């Protein structure tokens, strides 16, 4: 809105710098979707419950509906669009495809990034650990079983180090 | 038909690559240049007169383009449509924005259109509304009482409609009964909660007089016709696109106020207009499901034979009808026989208006209620007669040889083998051992419960006008385009339809593109609901592929100068019998067909065919679910120890997709049993208005599900498929409740209303303890 006080911020999204003037109240998720045009991050509740908006902020999974864009000033953000390397899918994406870990696909970007964080911290999780790690992400379609299968499948195939988003982000920077 | 290579195979979904990369386009992802954003002011009162409405300050707010109220637009936008119902149906006028009175919390009162979504929401705060509150009624039973406030003054009371279904000699059944088992059952209101809430983008091109509406809908074609009518446009001026849709579960099988409103605003302002529903709006203004309170009476013989069933029920309609509101509760009556031979059945239904959001189709839509009634009753009967619930079920099953099996409610179940699914599930669960464990653990003060549900449901909607459309077209370059009037939103028909066509035409899966959800591309269609997309829409696609093949055969026979019967077809190629070298592939034939220089006399160019399929009957998937729980009376905690399901949806095109549907369905049914309930207080305030106080099942709440299938094809369609979209939800709820009641039988518990929250369980155990009934075993 014209006349509102705005602040200039710079956020590196998937390795690309985005510099914009924004209202301080702008949510990070709206910055990603409406300002940066990356609509892969979804909004399912705006109240930090559903996890559809999960992104990695400086290597930690956050719900971007509860972070202000100005709080992410200077940070590195990884969204679903930044996970694959060109045509090559990330092993977690491969796994969701292989195990039918999605139906409508709306929760999927958030699920994948949450799984990504889990596997960074715990490369060989048990079914129980996976279910607990996904507890902040709601899926109404799958009943979670195929999602759990997908995370297990990915865990078996991920080479150590591949899940470090920061390295990836840096290497994508031209 | 060639040997099927793909039908029946676990084929990875073709829709996934875009979705796992975050490249799917849902409504809110559509950003047209110059788009305006809508925010809707909703009523904070459940029942009130609008005394005054002042919108000037909102209009003057910088960035605001327009503000509209119900009174201003009521002559420009028609009321919302209602479908179904009998001669008793009362249809109150349902405007896209309330005109002079509001009837539920969340009803739209005014809309702001602004340059961006934050500004639109800011301006809502500047609208001043003065309400004159009226008395409220939210309980459907109270709404029917003589002293209740009346919601729609056109009528003397809150009856929305009545219906009575009565078949067989009930008087005789109840006279001959050894015992009459009675139970009051509540099917609580639920919120469907697709993770993508609703959204609409509308763009009117004045020069072309063309309105395009992108909506998160399950029924683009029905929406198109209805919008044309509401906006007084011709159907060819309206195009509806259902882009990627993030789940529906029935909640998007509707025509909503916002769809009419946003389309109208685009027409009026001549700019693209967008509205994205927030989650709290979704709780208030997207349809709810279930909402029935009923009394059941079963007449039974000592040996467990069920002679008759009476269900007297009140359905909670909400303040208005939505598209299929009047059609849902009668479905319950139709399915009350469950998978049993019950000679006499009646349902006496009264639907009540209440000051709440409307109820309408939610995954299962009337059948979960029926299944819950009959499956709870079978367990109640078993408990009363002290017979194993498995025995009562077996006693009343029709035999496989009795199919098509006619129920007292007037249906003919297409095919089934209920004892087989049951035995398989019992074996998988280790039933005998479970019962021994239960006994052993009880003596140590631990409470194991085993619950069964042997369900049957009604699918593939349906005969009598519920056709679906499909088209198969081989392009000049040999690639295949499939059009379908179904509108999948997660079910995976871009994959399963391609499997059907690939097998039929012998082409590669990757050479097939399935298109759906756009009324400009797909000439007609009905949509995705009632587990019909594959069992009806898939058949239309299959028939079209067959027609294409026949046409290709004619062309091949013409080109090869042989009789069509002298051609073999294999691997996508027609060849002369005995001279396999002489032949044409379907791609070569497509090219010839498009060139049209050498075609059989009278044949038009191109290689395409379309068709419509309307089944002669519904299909009836069935199965057995077994849930094993342990209940901790000290805390009310319930742990699911085991969950086994044997489902039968006839032939399967893609087992991966079927498993996905079953798993998702089971968990949604568990949601009803354990967690979910839409609660309004007596003032009509929605107490469960966000995901913070409406609990959905989460990954950690759930056990690993142990699934398997039996396969009894349906004779209703040529592929033998029955549909599987809702079976899980229908089957699982009663299995869970039966398990928990079974666990608490030593406490004298015979029934618990859902959701089975720990608090409720704990209180119940305390009460029975206090009443001294503990240890009654
Ligand atoms: S949209 Fe952020 S958690 Fe739901
Ligand atoms: S796939 Fe639809 S919400 Fe998860």
Q: Which domain holds residue A37?
A: 7-82
- Rg of chain B in Å (alpha carbons): 28
Question: Nearest ligand to the C-alpha of residue A52?
Answer: 1
CA B675/CA B734 separation, integer angstroms: 14
> Which of B316, B322, B318, B298 has the alpha carbon at shortest distance from B308?
B298
Q: Which of B323, B376, B310 has the alpha carbon at shortest distance from B164?
A: B310
pLDDT of residue B768: 78
Using the beta-carbon criterion (under 8 Å), do B20 and A89 form an inter-chain contact? yes
Torsion angle of the four alpha carbons B647, B650, B656, B659, in this order, in degrees rounded to the nearest 10: -20
pLDDT score of A171 more than 50: no
Quick check: CB of A107 below 6 Å from ligand 2? yes
> CA of B116: which chain A residue's CA is closest?
A1
Q: What is the CATH number of the domain that holds A33?
A: 3.10.20.30
For residue B690, the distance in angstroms to the closest alpha carbon of chain A comes to 8
Closest in A33, A100, A105 to B660, CB measured: A100
Does B644 have pLDDT greater than 80? yes
| Ligand at shortest distance from the CA of A139 | 2
Q: A12 and A78: one domain? A: yes
User: For position A119, which CATH number holds?
Assistant: 1.10.150.120
Query: pLDDT of A26-72, one tens digit each?
Result: 999 999 999 999 999 999 999 999 999 999 999 999 999 999 999 99
Residues of chain A contacting residue B698, judged by C-beta atoms under 8 Å apart = 134-135, 138, 144
Protein residue whose Cα sits closest to atom 3 of ligand 1:
A48
Interface test with B, best of A55, A104, A149 (most B CBs within 10 A): A104
Our mutation pick for probing the ligand 1 site, out of A40, A52, A55, A79, counting the most ligand atoms within 8 A of Cβ, is A52
Residue B57 has pLDDT above 50, yes or no: yes
From B107, B727, B708, B115, select the one nearest B363 (Cα to Cα). Answer: B727
Give the pLDDT confidence of B604-613 residue by residue, as tens digits: 999 999 999 9
Shortest-distance atom of ligand 1 to CA A64: 2
| pLDDT for B84 | 85
Sheet holding B468-474, edge to edge: B512-516, B480-484, B468-474, B607-613
Closest CA in chain B for residue A105: B19
Ligand 1 contacts CB of residue A125 (under 6 A): no
- Please report whether residue A120 resides in a domain: yes
Residue B49 has pLDDT above 90, yes or no: yes
The DSSP secondary structure of B570-630, one letter per residue, reads ETTEEEETTEEEEEEEHHHHHHHHHH-SS--TTPPSSEEEEEEE--SS-B--EEEEEEEEE
d(CA B69, CA B337) in angstroms, rounded, equals: 48
Under CATH, to which class is B16-22+462-613 assigned?
Answer: alpha beta
Chain A residues with CB under 8 Å of B28 CB are 33, 39, 42-43
B239 and chain A in contact, CB less than 8 A: no
Q: Is residue A155 part of a domain?
A: yes
- Whole-number pLDDT of residue B530: 82
The CATH code of domain B31-134+196-246+252-285 reads: 3.90.1170.50
- For B198-255, the pLDDT digits (tens) are 999 999 999 999 999 999 999 999 999 999 999 999 999 999 999 999 999 999 999 9
**CA of B728: which chain A residue's CA is closest?**
A143
Which token pair is A81? Answer: 């669009």
Are A39 and B22 an interchain contact pair (Cβ–Cβ within 8 Å)?
Answer: yes
* The Cα angle at residue A166 between residues A163 and A169, in degrees rounded to 5: 100
d(CA B434, CA B449): 9
A72 and A121 in a common domain = no
State pLDDT tens for residues A67-116: 999 999 999 999 999 999 999 999 999 999 999 999 999 999 999 999 99
Between vectors from CA B621 to CA B616 and to CA B624, what angle results, nearest 5°? 160
- Closest residue by CA, ligand 2 atom 3: A139
| Domain B289-460+617-775 in this protein, CATH class | alpha beta
Closest to A44 (Cβ–Cβ): which among B118, B195, B249? B195
The CATH 3.30.365.10 domain(s) of chain B lie at 16-22+462-613, 289-460+617-775
Q: How confident is the model at residue B767 (pLDDT cuts 50, 70, 90)?
A: confident
- Per-residue pLDDT band at B771 (split at 50, 70, 90): low
- How many contiguous H segments (helices) and E segments (strands) does chain B have? 20, 28
B positions 706-735 inside 8 Å of A (CB): 728
- For residue A1, being part of any structural domain is answered with no
Contacts A–B by Cβ distance under 8 A: 185
B153 — contact with chain A (CB < 8 Å)?
no
Joined together, the tokens standing for residue B246 give 């993030």
Cβ of residue A52 lying under 6 Å from some atom of ligand 1:
yes
Q: What is the ipTM of this complex?
A: 0.95
pLDDT of residue B770: 60
Choose between B487 and B78: higher pLDDT.
B78
Q: Are residues A78 and A95 in the same domain?
A: no
Total tally of structural domains belonging to chain A: 2
In a domain, A28, yes or no: yes
């Amino acid at each position: 809105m014209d006349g509102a006080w705005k602040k200039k911020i710079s956020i590196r999204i998937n390795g690309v710098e985005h510099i914009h003037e924004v209202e301080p109240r702008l949510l990070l998720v709206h910055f990603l979707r409406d300002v940066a045009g990356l609509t892969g991050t979804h909004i399912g509740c705006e109240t930090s419950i559903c996890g559809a908006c999960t992104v990695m902020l400086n290597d930690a999974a956050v719900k971007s509906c509860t972070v202000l864009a100005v709080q992410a000033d200077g940070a590195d953000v990884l969204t679903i669009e930044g996970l694959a390397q060109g045509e090559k899918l990330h092993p977690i994406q491969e796994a969701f495809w292989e195990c039918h870990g999605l139906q409508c696909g709306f929760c999927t970007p958030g699920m994948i990034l949450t799984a990504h964080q889990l596997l960074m911290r715990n490369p060989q999780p048990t079914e129980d650990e996976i279910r607990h790690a996904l507890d902040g992400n709601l899926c109404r379609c799958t009943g979670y079983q195929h999602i759990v299968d997908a995370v297990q499948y990915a865990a078996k195939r991920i080479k150590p180090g591949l899940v470090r988003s920061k390295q990836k982000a840096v290497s994508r920077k031209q | 038909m060639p040997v099927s290579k793909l039908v029946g195979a676990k084929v990875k979904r073709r829709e996934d690559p875009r979705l796992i990369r975050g490249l799917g386009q849902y409504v809110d992802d559509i950003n047209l240049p110059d788009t305006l954003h809508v925010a809707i002011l909703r009523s904070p009162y459940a029942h009130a007169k609008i005394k005054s409405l002042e919108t000037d300050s909102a209009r003057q707010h910088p960035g605001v383009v327009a503000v509209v109220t119900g009174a201003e637009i009521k002559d420009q936008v028609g009321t919302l449509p209602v479908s179904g119902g009998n001669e008793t149906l009362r249809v109150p006028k349902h405007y896209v924005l309330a005109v002079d009175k509001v009837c539920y919390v969340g009803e739209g009162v005014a809309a702001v259109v602004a340059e961006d979504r934050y500004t639109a929401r800011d301006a809502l705060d500047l609208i001043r509304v003065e309400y004159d509150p009226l008395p409220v009624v939210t309980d459907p039973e109270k709404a029917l009482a003589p002293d209740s406030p009346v919601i729609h003054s056109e009528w003397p009371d809150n009856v929305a409609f009545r219906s009575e279904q009565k078949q067989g000699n009930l008087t005789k059944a109840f006279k001959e009964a050894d015992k009459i088992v009675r139970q009051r059952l509540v099917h609580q209101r639920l919120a469907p909660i697709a993770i993508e809430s609703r959204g609409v983008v509308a763009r009117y091109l004045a020069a072309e007089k063309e309105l395009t509406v992108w909506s998160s809908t399950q029924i683009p074609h029905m929406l198109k016709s209805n919008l044309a009518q509401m906006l007084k446009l011709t159907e060819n001026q309206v195009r509806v696109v259902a882009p990627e849709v993030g789940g529906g579960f029935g909640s998007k099988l509707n025509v909503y106020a916002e769809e009419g409103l946003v389309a109208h605003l685009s027409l009026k302002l001549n700019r693209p207009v967008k509205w994205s529903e927030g989650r709290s709006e979704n709780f208030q203004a997207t349809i709810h499901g279930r909402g029935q309170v009923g009394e059941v009476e079963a007449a039974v013989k000592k040996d467990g034979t069920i002679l008759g069933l009476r269900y007297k029920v009140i359905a909670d309609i909400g303040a208005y009808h939505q598209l299929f509101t009047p059609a849902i509760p009668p479905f319950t009556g139709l399915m009350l026989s469950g998978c049993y031979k019950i000679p006499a059945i009646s349902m006496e239904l009264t639907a009540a208006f209440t000051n709440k959001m409307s109820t309408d189709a939610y995954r299962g839509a009337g059948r979960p209620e029926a299944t819950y009634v009959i499956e709870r009753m079978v367990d109640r009967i078993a408990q009363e007669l002290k017979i194993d619930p498995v025995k009562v079920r077996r006693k009343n099953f029709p035999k496989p040889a009795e199919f098509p099996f006619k129920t007292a409610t007037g249906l003919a179940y297409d095919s089934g083998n209920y004892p087989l699914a049951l035995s398989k599930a019992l074996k998988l669960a280790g039933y005998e051992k479970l019962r021994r464990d239960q006994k052993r653990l009880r003596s140590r003060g631990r409470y194991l419960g085993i619950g069964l549900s042997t369900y049957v449901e009604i699918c593939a909607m349906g005969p009598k006008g519920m056709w679906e459309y499909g088209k198969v077209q081989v392009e000049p370059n040999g690639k295949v385009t499939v059009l379908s009037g179904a509108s999948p939103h997660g079910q995976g028909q871009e994959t399963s339809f391609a499997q059907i066509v690939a097998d039929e035409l012998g082409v590669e899966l990757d050479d097939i593109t399935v298109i759906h959800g756009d009324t400009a591309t797909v000439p007609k269609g009905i949509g995705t609901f009632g587990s019909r997309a594959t069992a009806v829409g898939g058949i239309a696609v299959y028939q079209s592929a067959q027609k294409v093949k026949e046409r290709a055969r004619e062309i091949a026979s013409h080109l090869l100068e042989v009789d069509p019967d002298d051609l073999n077809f294999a691997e996508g190629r027609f060849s002369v019998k005995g001279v396999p070298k002489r032949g044409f592939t379907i791609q070569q034939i497509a090219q010839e067909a498009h060139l049209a220089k050498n075609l059989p006399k009278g044949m038009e160019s191109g290689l395409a065919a379309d068709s419509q399929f309307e089944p002669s009957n519904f299909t009836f998937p069935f199965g057995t679910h077994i849930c094993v729980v342990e209940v901790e009376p000290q805390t009310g905690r319930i742990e699911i120890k085991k969950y086994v399901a044997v489902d039968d949806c006839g032939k399967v095109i893609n087992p991966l997709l079927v498993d996905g549907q079953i798993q998702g369905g089971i968990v949604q049914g568990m949601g009803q049993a354990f967690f979910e309930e839409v609660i309004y207080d007596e003032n009509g305030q929605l107490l469960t208005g966000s995901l913070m106080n409406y609990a959905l099942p989460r990954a950690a709440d759930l056990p690993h599900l142990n699934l398997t299938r039996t396969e009894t094809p349906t004779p209703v369609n040529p592929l033998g498929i029955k549909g599987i979209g809702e079976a899980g939800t229908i089957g699982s709820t009663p299995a869970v409740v039966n398990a928990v009641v079974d666990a608490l039988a030593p406490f004298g518990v015979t029934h618990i209303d859902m959701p089975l929250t720990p608090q409720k369980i704990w209180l119940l155990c305390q009460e029975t303890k206090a009443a001294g009934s503990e240890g009654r075993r």
